[in-house]
Chain A
Amino acid sequence: MTIFGLPVAALLSQLVLGVVNGSFYAMMSLGVAVIFGMLRIANFVQGAQYMLGAFCGWFLLNLNEMVPDYGLPRIGYWWALLIVPAVMFLVGVVTERFFIRRIYDLDHAYGLLLTIGLSMIIEGALHLRFGSFGQPYGMPESLRGVQDLGFIVLPNYRVWLIVSSTVVCFGTWYLIERTRLGAYLRAATENPVLVRAFGVNVPRLLMMTYGFGVGLAGLAGVMAAPIYQVSPLMGQQILIVVFAVVVIGGMGSILGAIVSGFALGLIEGMTKVFWPAASSTVIFIIMAAVLLLKPAGLFGKSPT
């Protein structure tokens, strides 16, 4: 049967693809939103950190070849899901300590500029080693295959992606909005001097927060590895869209990033079905519209 002249199965599978993309947008936007919300830094290097996460996963998978002579095993997807975010967390902590921290007192522009510079270094370095080519990262055994539901065939990996990213996103939201630690973060965003005067080590808190945001990017990268190309350019492609999503959601709003991420993935998917030529621009058009009508974003508070 058809809807609007398209077979239902095709339509639905495109929608699912949209939500899958949306999962990545949501996870990445979450990282950017957390970092912007708490540190007031536009973390333009998030794309490169996502890409690094994917490469870390690839590296672990090929560990026996990358570091020969030690009899190291291939570290597969499931271990990578734990190791890579932890590694990227540390990368984030170091980055904050040595780079990001130095520019807090400066104009916002410098945050953007610094992170652009960092992303160029990282992407350039990986491009040097790997060129523009994608490295293969096989689908993990347990997630291969499909669910045949009759009207649609759902690849298992996509289901896994949607479910796990929802869990990660919701978990992060809960952490920030409903826990004591989150309260510290929210308070430190409003008045870091006072929170420090209460005895909280605010600089360390900010460092951990940045690390967390980077860890999220790394996690997204690993999860992307089996279905997208692990290439040095993968960060650039997703980054601009992610910034648009964050702006639409509200530039410090956690919930805004999550909802907008999923929603815009879906909208992008729908647009691809009905008006393919506009599918790459629809997100930017929405972003421009939101910035004009409600500049704080759909879920944001008024810009200060």
Chain B
Amino acid sequence: MTERAPLREILVVRDLHAWYGESHVLHGLSIEMAEGQVITLLGRNGAGKSTTLKSIMGIIKERRGSILFDGRQLIGRPSDQIARQGIAFCPEERGIFASLSVEENLMLPPVIRPGGMSEPDIYRLFPNLLERRKSQGTKLSGGEQQMLAIARILRTGARLLLLDEPTEGLAPVIVKQIGGVIRELKRRGFTILLVEQNFRFAATVADRHYVVEHGAIIDAFHNDEVGANRAKLESYLSV
């Protein structure tokens, strides 16, 4: 482990409750992230992992509790304001716009603060987006769309990236590529909160893991503890 200065807490979620219409989906969820870390939320389907990301992002509006990003409270703010604080979201369905080309998709999210990756930089990280940049956004393969969904939020200057199941439904080769991308992003100083069901993949990229069940955190591990707790993890994630 390299020597580092004490890590700055960038995201502190305390006792988060959230409602999806009538259903109470998050029950007092608490997590914390330090700058530059990659943290995963593991758990079964319906545990509340995506809901957590969406609550942080303000997409789910009925929330109670505290979400502090860089010391600023996010509860009560609409999602465009939250984005402008420096957070970016990559949804589970990827959200590639069909009526826009790849390039337009890439350039869509506005630059909200300096420090984002430049266009050439992004194309270097995702070369196949460069060759396909004039195609219609949805004409790309699943893996390419996932790359595009991640790529477009890198330009904005956001420091905290929320990635919702980026490897879902993708071939192992692409999954490996995405793992490489995430490690590279970590190297560049991004903070990433990752939702995953595949803990083996998560173990290749993350520093820490939280296990979510029924809208609350039931366990947490450092990445080096994963091996010792394999059986426990498997029972958490089994159907």
Q: Which residues of A contact B (CB under 8 A)?
A: 180, 183-184, 186-187, 189-191, 193-202
Give B72-127 interface residues, CB cut-off 8 Å to A: 78-80, 82-84, 88-89, 91, 95, 97-100, 104, 107-110, 112
Distance between Cα atoms of A193 and B88 in the complex (Å): 13
Residue of A whose beta carbon sits closest to that of B81: A199
Could you tell me if A199 and B100 are in contact, using CB atoms closer than 8 angstroms?
Answer: no
Contact indicator per residue, chain B 201-225, by CB within 8 Å of chain A (1) or not (0): 0000000000000000000000000
Known interface pairs A187-B99, A190-B97, A191-B95; A197-B108 also in contact (CB < 8 Å): no
Chain B positions within 8 Å of A195 at CB level: 108
Find chain B residues with CB under 8 A from A201 CB: 80
Q: Which of B78, B104, B110 sits near A198, CB closer than 8 Å?
A: B110
With A180-B107, A184-B108 given, is the CB distance from A196 to B79 under 8 Å? yes
Residue from B78, B91, B108 within 8 A of A183 (CB atoms)? B108
| Cα(A203)–Cα(B104), bound, Å | 21
Q: Is the CB of B107 within 8 A of A200?
A: no
CA distance A201 to B80 in the complex (A): 6
Residue in A closest to B78 when the chains form the complex, CB atoms: A196
Chain B residues within 8 Å of chain A by Cβ, number? 25
| A199: B residues at CB distance < 8 A | 80, 83-84, 109-110, 112, 156
A202 to B104, CA, bound (A): 17
B36 is an interface residue with CB less than 8 A from chain A: no
Give, as a whole number of angstroms, the nearest-CB distance from A253 to chain B.
11
Q: Which residue of B lies closest to A178 (CB)?
A: B104
Measured between C-beta atoms, what is the minimum distance from B67 to chain A in Å?
Answer: 15
Leading 6 A-B pairs by shortest Cβ distance: A199-B83, A198-B109, A186-B99, A194-B95, A197-B79, A187-B97
Q: CA of A194 to CA of B83 in the docked complex: distance in angstroms?
A: 11
Q: Are B80 and A197 neighbours in the complex by a CB distance under 8 Å?
A: yes
Structural contact, B97 and A191, CB atoms closer than 8 A: yes
| A197 vs B58: C-alpha distance when bound (angstroms) | 8
Whole-angstrom distance from the CB of B175 to the nearest CB of chain A? Answer: 24
- Residue picked from A195, A196, A198, most chain B C-beta under 10 Å: A198
Complex interface: chain A residues within 8 A of B156 (CB): 198-199
B38 interfacial contact with A, CB 8 Å: no
- Tell me which residues across on chain A come within 8 A of B112, comparing CB atoms: 199
B57 at interface by CB-CB < 8 Å: yes
- Which residues of chain A are within 8 angstroms of B82 by Cβ–Cβ distance? 197
8 A-B residue pairs with Cβ-Cβ distance under 8 Å, sorted by A, are: A183-B104, A184-B108, A190-B97, A194-B89, A197-B58, A198-B153, A198-B156, A200-B110
CA distance A167 to B107 in the complex (A): 28
> How far is A113 from B210 in the complex, measured between Cα atoms in Å?
50
Q: B110: which A residues are within 8 A, CB to CB?
A: 198-200
Chain B residues lying within 8 Å of A202, measured Cβ to Cβ, are 80
Q: Closest CB of chain A to B41's CB: distance in Å?
A: 18
Chain B residues 149 to 175 lying within 8 A of chain A, measured CB to CB, are: 153, 156
Q: Report the minimal beta-carbon distance from B58 to chain A, rounded to whole angstroms.
A: 7
Smallest CB–CB gap between A190 and chain B, Å?
5
Cα–Cα distance between A160 and B204 once the two chains are bound (Å)? 67
Which residues on the B side are within 8 Å of A194 (C-beta)? Answer: 89, 91, 95
Residues of B within 8 A of A180 (CB): 107
Cross-chain contact A198 with B98 (CB below 8 angstroms): no
Q: A residues within 8 A CB of B109?
A: 198-199
Give the distance to chain A from B103, nearest Cβ to Cβ, in Å. 10
- Please report the C-alpha to C-alpha distance between residue A240 and residue B138 in the assembled complex, in whole angstroms: 36
Contact residues in B for A189 (Cβ distance below 8 Å): 99
A173 to chain B, nearest CB (A): 14
In the assembled complex, the Cα of A200 lies from the Cα of B84 at a distance in Å of: 9
Which of B89, B99, B112, B156 has its CB near the most chain A CB atoms (within 10 A)? B99
A299 to B108 CA separation, bound complex (whole angstroms): 25
A198–B99 CB distance below 8 A: no
